[in-house]
Amino acid sequence: MLEPSFTILPLPEIHFGAGHFSRLATLAKPFGSTILVVTGRRALEHSGHSAALFDALHRAALKTFHLVVEREPSPELIDRALLLYRPLSVDLVVAVGGGSVLDAGKAVSAMLLQEGSVERFIEGREGFRVHDGRKVPFIAVPTTSGTGSEVTNNAVISRVGQEGYKRSLRHTAFVPNIALIDPELMVTVSAELTAASGMDACTQLLEAYTSPFASPYSDALALSGLERFSRSFLPACSDRAKESGVRGDIAYAALMSGIALANAGLGIVHGFASSVGGLIDIAHGTLCATLLATATRENIRQLRSIDPTHPTLQKYAKAGSILSGCAAVDVYGGCEGLLERLEAWQERLHFPRLGEYGLLSEDLDALVTTTRSKSNAVQLDHAAMKRILSSRL
């Protein structure tokens, strides 16, 4: 048997654990004296940690500027930030927030030393220019457990509408210098956001695990994340939401999902995140939550038609055993257990349908022609992709 061939991408310096947020000023100080802090509008303040953060930076004699991000970052938001902060000789960008905040901070970090608009460097855009990798150092501090952006090398930039898109600014140098993950930052996150962001992490774990580009390395990470996710997802969405250990499990799952996706790629749900997410105004985690069960069912159906013993079906079955907590008698039963668990979560947590966000049946033909997903578990034709979307209108 040939040894598998794979490449492991760079990782940040990772600090994981309850109470680690108090170390942020100490970690920031070696980078310089001028810090740009990127946060959301309300979440950090609501958690009670905002004042402590800025007090700690002040006590460390660090000069701080503050950028507030309210939505998924658009090219216009990033360009406005660049106009403000390029002249100020920022030494370090620190982003504290959900996936949108981390993506915004990562993009600003990547663009402060460049000239012109961020849109020139976004993959797939007209006149795309390859980034040279020069950036201002970046520390990522997630306050939700979903995207894994704290360990990835891309920042997702969005423009919503008929000519909209959701694409990446990407370079291996964009991996954060430091990722600080403190589950105590997440105990005040609402049940709705916990569910949506958690399903993003689950989607990333499952899609990376079943990707044709998966490796023993990414498989180990994905399985480890799925085990923690299975143990604590529903408790985090309900009566044990304020337990640091429960939040730690989901934060760990999100962290593993970020490393796994960076090394194995993602599937059709994230393909739709680009196309559908560029057309309608829907949060990324919500899109993942509403599509994962249906997309997984379609993938399994297609794989069974190719070969009922397909190795990827065995992976789906193993994931099903983990998420359901029941050992599968056979591959078929494991896959059915996975689908039943995903659909049960969909029902119990009331994941919304795409029609609630304005997606129409007449939009689907154009969407499936622009959706790409080379890392999906199986190649899907337009009819299969359309079935996935139609079932969640």
* Average pLDDT of adjacent 10-residue blocks, the chain of 393 residues: 77 96 96 96 76 92 94 93 96 96 97 94 86 97 95 92 85 97 94 96 98 96 98 96 96 98 96 92 95 98 96 97 88 95 96 96 95 95 97 96
Q: Please give the pLDDT value at position 329.
A: 77
Q: Please give the pLDDT value at position 39.
A: 95
According to the 3-state scheme, what is the secondary structure of 366-381?
HHHHHCCCCCCCCCCC
Pair type for strands 13-16 and 34-40 = unpaired
Question: 253-290 burial, b if ≥16 CB within 10 A, otherwise e?
Answer: bbbbbbbbbbbbbbbbbbbbbbbbbbbbebbbbbbbbb
Q: Please give the pLDDT value at position 2.
A: 58
Q: Please give the pLDDT value at position 164.
A: 79
Q: Please give the pLDDT value at position 377.
A: 97
Q: Please give the pLDDT value at position 48.
A: 75
DSSP designation for 180: E
- Specify the pTM: 0.95
Q: How far is CA 382 from the centre of its chain?
A: 25
Best CA proximity match to 165, nearest among 202, 136, 126: 126
**SS3 of the chain: helix, strand, coil, percent, to 5:** 55, 10, 35
Q: How far apart are CA 383 and CA 378, in angstroms?
A: 14
Q: Domains of the chain (ranges plus CATH)?
A: 13-186 (3.40.50.1970), 191-390 (1.20.1090.10)
**Biggest distance spanned by C-alpha atoms of the chain:** 64
Place of tokens 């740009």: 36
- Counting DSSP H helices and E strands in the chain, the numbers are 14, 8
